[in-house]
Amino acid sequence: MAEVAAHLSFFLILLPLLSGGTLMMVNGQKTWCTVKPSTDQAVLLSNINYACSQVDCQVIQKGCPCFYPDSLINHASIAMDLYYQANGRNVWNCNFGGSGLVSLTDPSYGNCIYA
């Protein structure tokens, strides 16, 4: 019986992904878009350029709350999430050529608050 419950729980987590591709909330929990850690630097830069051409990425500018740590992976993750949030938190809005991950864990830190 425990095995059936485990499979059912897993299915309930995946259900929003399977039903139309929209992942609004899982069990009432908000979702965020982050970068896959293995993403190479060129893709990170491309993701930043694309996302920031579509949404306001001022928070990653020098002197703003999400500038530090000053790294491509950090800035890309924030830019990708801004894009994801602005476009309805659909799974496909976090794809970025396979370099994005939908997260159930809030990646906010310090004064850098993810949307």
Residue 38: inside a domain: yes
Is the residue at 111 inside a domain? no
Q: Is residue 114 part of a domain?
A: no
Cα–chain center distance at 9? 22
**pLDDT tens digits for range 54-112:** 999 999 999 999 999 999 999 999 999 999 999 999 999 999 999 999 999 999 999 99
Q: Which domain holds residue 90?
A: 2-103
> Which one, of 22, 73, 82, lies nearest residue 50 by Cα?
82
Residue 52 domain flag = yes
Q: Is residue 53 part of a domain?
A: yes
**Structural contact between residues 114 and 107, judged by C-beta atoms closer than 8 angstroms:** yes
Check if the beta carbon of residue 73 is closer than 8 Å to that of residue 39: yes
Count of domains for the chain: 1
DSSP string, 5-17: HHHHHHHHHHHHH
Q: Tell me, yes or no, whether 64 lies in a domain.
A: yes
The reply to whether the predicted model has a pTM over 0.85 is no
Half-sphere exposure of residue 75, counting CA atoms within 13 Å on the CB side? 23
